[in-house]
């Protein structure tokens, strides 16, 4: 069993295959954190709440209650009652005071995992997951707070969320609701997070944890290019295989905060949840608020174990799409090929040449609707531009399908152009502050999809197009972040709900889409990777990783992304050179090898590239089909990192049954007077024998995992090669 309760010691024990999480209840009824780490065989460790060494424990000495509150390792801290560390819950009552205090009320343990209405949520059947509910109560406010812990034993993951119910008689205002807290002693922790900007998302950053609060956050209305809703605390010298890792990841697509606070007593508080800035939620008697989920995992075997736990968890318990393990078509997108300058014949020319070279889908990107010949108009006017598509959309789709290809299309449903029929008819549908000129970004505003009529309009625009022709793929884009936060629909005392209601509106629209079109392959996108988060994976099995398709830049971007996400979720394409973002020239083979560590496709004008490059496409497509299942289901190992002062980059995907492994090696910078390099593999059968495909070389698994494999034949800047080992 994954969850046990000791009635005598008032302790909960949450076990996964390799970890244990302990919770205790004090004599006063405070719910405290005891332990999270390597699996314990027995109950124990209650002394870690340190109740016996506190003469100022409230039941012993109420005079110094504040001293107790500022030290006690609580499971869900609240504000206003003496805990001066970061709180998870701020509640303002009807007379304007902030303060809440939670006491243990009851618990229940259930098989399976409850859904969270309106929110993306992990799932699992009986036998795969158990859920603990701890109900706490604030007797003064009449507030019931339910702490939920779902234990996924096989994946070494614990998922946490919180439900806040107003069971009292006065109106309350929630000004902060985080989803999880972890209090523990400092172990000279270092903090690892993912940061960047447009076209350089999710670069790995690592630094010593200092006294005070260090946070990662977004108040942009989305998870953002700049930050990512992930944080890991690691012990010194942690590597891919050694060291301890405590990680949190937020299943949410809007404003977030994740913070580590090193306190005066050398304790660490780690919290995660919806950002409190511009957040305020009305909670009338009888109403409840459900916070999004946090995914937690602990690894005693370095980053690699954390990575594989999260990969397995997201594949098995968050992604719902029928394409999770199904073959996805190799596509070609016309954006970098044509931008806005295309018509029916140009698209058909690309499709014909693509088909001849084994590509399976044409995706028509921005520019097919309204009067969209540049990016300053027509968003919201989702009618076909028949000056470009002269015979109509349906005819184009049917002509592409007659070639034996599938057809996909780009939308940006959440946006509205100032120069659009929609804005002229409904200017109040744009998010804006009354009396202020709203700021534009990419010459566009954001639709207020917190409003049902706006959601219904935007959704029906997408659905109508999909019903008009046999379209099998949608790229759902969002090319600006939110500002000027105001809604013409919400009352004055509810404007602080807009950010979260916007995200709930987005989830509702995408839930309708995947319900009404269950066989649709949906790819989310936000100016590249600004909304690459676990919340979106619940609706789409893949997300466009970055608008930067340069193979060398993608090494850092994809390494950071693959640290926590399965390779099959990363939208990755082969693009033209010089690269449109950085201007770099890289070999076509390397562009293909790097894109293979993702969904794989093309972003170029296949009718204009050189014959030499075009001739390589059939082989790359064949490689994708050969390795697709391994990449979708295998275990990922980071072997070497260019970002770690290496002149090369290397990763491996090994089959779970150790039957084969694919190694990708990229020589980023050539070096003089350097001999072969030894690459140590992982995830193989030590006793097995492995043939290097394409050669007569045979190695034992023990040799490959202890002695290593020599890279002899990759030299020069930006050169790369794939190595496939198959057990005989």
pLDDT at 351 (0 to 100): 98
**Residue 325 forms part of a structural domain:** no
Tell me: do 613 and 710 sit in the same domain: no
Phi and psi at 442, nearest 5°, equal 55, 35
Percent of the chain with pLDDT over 90: 93
Among residues 633, 648, 676, the one where a domain terminates is: 633
Tell me: do 661 and 564 sit in the same domain: no
pLDDT at 51 (0 to 100): 74
Checking if the pLDDT of 584 tops 80, the result is yes
* Mean pLDDT in residue range 612-623: 97
**Residue 326 forms part of a structural domain:** no
pLDDT at 57 (0 to 100): 65
Tell me: do 212 and 95 sit in the same domain: yes
Tell me: do 549 and 654 sit in the same domain: no
Among residues 573, 598, 633, the one where a domain terminates is: 633
Measured CA to CA, the distance from residue 354 to residue 222 in angstroms comes to 35
What CATH number is attached to the domain comprising 496? Answer: 3.20.20.70
pLDDT, tens digit (0-9, with 9 covering 90-100), for 482-516: 999 999 999 999 999 999 999 999 999 999 999 99
The alpha-helical segments, DSSP class H, found in 173-252 are: none
* Mean pLDDT in residue range 248-263: 98
Model confidence at 56, pLDDT cuts 50, 70, 90, reads low
Tell me: do 299 and 346 sit in the same domain: no
For 282, counting Cβ atoms within 10 Å of its Cβ (0-12 exposed, 13-18 middle, 19+ buried), the class is middle
Checking if the pLDDT of 60 tops 70, the result is no
Phi and psi at 711, nearest 5°, equal -90, 110
> What's the whole-model pTM score?
0.96
Model confidence at 49, pLDDT cuts 50, 70, 90, reads confident
Measured CA to CA, the distance from residue 375 to residue 395 in angstroms comes to 25
Tell me: do 571 and 719 sit in the same domain: no
Model confidence at 103, pLDDT cuts 50, 70, 90, reads very high
Percent of the chain with pLDDT over 70: 98
**Residue 324 forms part of a structural domain:** no
**Residue 323 forms part of a structural domain:** no
pLDDT at 52 (0 to 100): 67
Model confidence at 64, pLDDT cuts 50, 70, 90, reads confident
Spot the catalytic one: 477, 533, 548, 649. 477
pLDDT at 44 (0 to 100): 84
What CATH number is attached to the domain comprising 191? Answer: 2.70.98.60
- Contact (CB, 8 A) for 11 and 23: yes
What CATH number is attached to the domain comprising 666? Answer: 2.60.40.1180
**Residue 655 forms part of a structural domain:** yes
- Contact (CB, 8 A) for 36 and 19: yes
- Domain of 34 in residue numbering reads as 3-317
Tell me: do 662 and 696 sit in the same domain: yes
Checking if the pLDDT of 444 tops 60, the result is yes
The beta-strand segments (E) located in 11-83 are 11-15, 19-25, 31-38
Among residues 610, 633, 656, the one where a domain terminates is: 633
> Does the annotation mark 547 as catalytic?
yes
pLDDT, tens digit (0-9, with 9 covering 90-100), for 655-688: 999 999 999 999 999 888 787 899 999 999 999 9
- Contact (CB, 8 A) for 275 and 337: no
**Residue 551 forms part of a structural domain:** yes
Tell me: do 559 and 668 sit in the same domain: no
Model confidence at 645, pLDDT cuts 50, 70, 90, reads confident
The beta-strand segments (E) located in 401-526 are 406-411, 415-417, 444-446, 473-476, 521-524
Tell me: do 336 and 282 sit in the same domain: no
pLDDT at 37 (0 to 100): 97
> Does the annotation mark 419 as catalytic?
no
Instruction: Tally the residues of the chain.
Output: 728
**Residue 322 forms part of a structural domain:** no
Model confidence at 36, pLDDT cuts 50, 70, 90, reads very high
Tell me: do 505 and 651 sit in the same domain: no
pLDDT, tens digit (0-9, with 9 covering 90-100), for 542-554: 999 999 999 999 9
Provide CB contacts within 8 A for 422, sequence distance 6+: 379, 380, 381, 416, 429, 457
CA-based nearest residue to 487, from 457, 443, 449: 449
Tell me: do 34 and 91 sit in the same domain: yes
Measured CA to CA, the distance from residue 124 to residue 129 in angstroms comes to 6
pLDDT, tens digit (0-9, with 9 covering 90-100), for 519-574: 999 999 999 999 999 999 999 999 999 999 999 999 999 999 999 999 999 999 99
Count of domains observed in the chain: 3
Tell me: do 658 and 609 sit in the same domain: no
Spot the catalytic one: 547, 605, 635, 649. 547
pLDDT at 55 (0 to 100): 52
């Amino acid at each position: 069993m994954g969850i046990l309760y000791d009635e005598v010691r008032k302790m909960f024990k949450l076990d996964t295959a390799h970890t244990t999480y302990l919770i205790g209840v004090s004599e006063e009824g405070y719910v405290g954190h005891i332990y999270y780490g390597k699996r314990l065989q027995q109950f124990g460790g209650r002394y870690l709440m340190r109740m016996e060494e506190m003469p100022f424990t409230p039941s012993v000495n109420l005079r110094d209650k504040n001293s107790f509150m500022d030290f006690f390792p609580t499971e869900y801290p609240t504000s206003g009652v003496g805990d001066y560390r970061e709180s998870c819950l701020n509640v303002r009552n009807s007379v304007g005071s902030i303060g809440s205090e939670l006491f243990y009320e009851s618990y229940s343990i259930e098989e399976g995992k409850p859904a969270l209405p309106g929110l993306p949520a992990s799932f699992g059947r009986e036998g795969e997951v158990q859920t603990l509910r701890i109900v706490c109560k604030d007797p003064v406010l009449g507030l019931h707070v339910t702490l939920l812990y779902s234990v996924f034993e096989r994946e070494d993951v614990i998922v946490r969320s919180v439900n806040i119910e107003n069971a009292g008689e006065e109106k309350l205002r929630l000004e902060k609701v985080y989803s999880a807290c972890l209090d523990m002693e400092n172990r000279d922790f270092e903090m690892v997070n993912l940061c960047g900007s447009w076209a350089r998302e999710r670069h790995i950053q690592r630094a010593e944890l200092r006294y005070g609060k260090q946070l990662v956050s977004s108040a942009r209305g989305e998870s953002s290019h700049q930050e990512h809703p992930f944080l890991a605390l690691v012990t010194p010298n942690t590597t891919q295989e050694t060291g301890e890792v405590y990680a949190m990841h937020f299943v949410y697509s809007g404003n977030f905060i994740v913070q580590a606070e090193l306190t005066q007593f050398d304790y660490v508080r780690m919290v995660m949840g919806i950002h409190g800035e511009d957040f305020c939620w009305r909670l009338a008697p009888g109403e409840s608020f459900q916070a999004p989920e946090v995914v937690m995992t602990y690894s005693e075997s370095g980053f690699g174990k954390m990575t594989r736990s999260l990969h397995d968890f997201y594949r098995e318990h968050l992604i719902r799409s029928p394409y999770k393990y199904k073959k996805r078509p190799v596509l070609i997108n016309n954006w970098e090929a044509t931008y806005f300058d295309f018509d029916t014949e140009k698209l058909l020319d690309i499709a014909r040449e693509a088909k001849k070279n084994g590509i399976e889908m044409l995706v028509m990107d921005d520019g097919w609707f309204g009067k969209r010949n540049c990016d300053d108009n027509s968003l919201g006017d989702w009618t076909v531009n028949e000056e470009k598509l002269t015979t109509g959309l349906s005819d184009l789709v049917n002509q592409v399908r007659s070639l034996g290809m599938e057809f996909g299309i780009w939308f940006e449903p959440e946006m509205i152009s100032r120069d659009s029929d929609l804005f002229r008819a409904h200017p109040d549908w744009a998010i804006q502050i009354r009396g202020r000129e709203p700021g534009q970004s990419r010459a566009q505003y954001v639709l207020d999809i917190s409003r049902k009529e706006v959601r219904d309009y935007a959704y029906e625009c997408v659905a109508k197009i999909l019903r008009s022709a046999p379209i099998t793929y949608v790229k759902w884009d969002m090319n600006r972040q939110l500002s000027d936060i105001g809604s013409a629909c919400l009352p004055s005392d509810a404007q602080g709900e807009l950010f979260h209601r916007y995200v709930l509106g987005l989830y509702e629209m995408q839930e309708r889409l995947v319900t009404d079109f269950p066989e649709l392959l949906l790819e989310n996108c936000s100016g590249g990777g600004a909304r690459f988060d676990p919340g979106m994976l619940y609706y789409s099995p893949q997300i466009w990783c970055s608008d930067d398709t340069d193979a060398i830049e993608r090494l850092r971007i994809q390494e950071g992304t693959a640290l926590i996400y399965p390779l099959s979720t990363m939208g990755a394409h082969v693009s033209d050179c010089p690269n449109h973002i950085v201007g770099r020239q890289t070999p076509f083979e390397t562009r293909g090898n790097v894109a293979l560590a993702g969904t794989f496709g093309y972003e170029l004008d296949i009718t204009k590239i050189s014959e030499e490059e075009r001739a390589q496409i059939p082989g790359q497509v064949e490689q994708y089909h050969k390795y697709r299942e391994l990449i979708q289901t295998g275990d990922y190992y980071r072997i070497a990192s260019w970002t770690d002062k290496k002149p090369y980059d290397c990763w491996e995907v090994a089959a779970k049954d150790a039957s084969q492994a694919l190694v990708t090696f990229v020589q980023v910078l050539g070096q003089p007077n350097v001999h072969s390099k030894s690459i140590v593999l992982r995830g193989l059968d030590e006793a097995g024998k492995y043939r290097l495909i394409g050669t007569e070389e045979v190695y034992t698994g023990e040799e490959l995992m202890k002695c290593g494999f020599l890279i002899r034949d990759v030299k020069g800047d930006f050169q790369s090669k794939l190595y496939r080992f198959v057990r005989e």
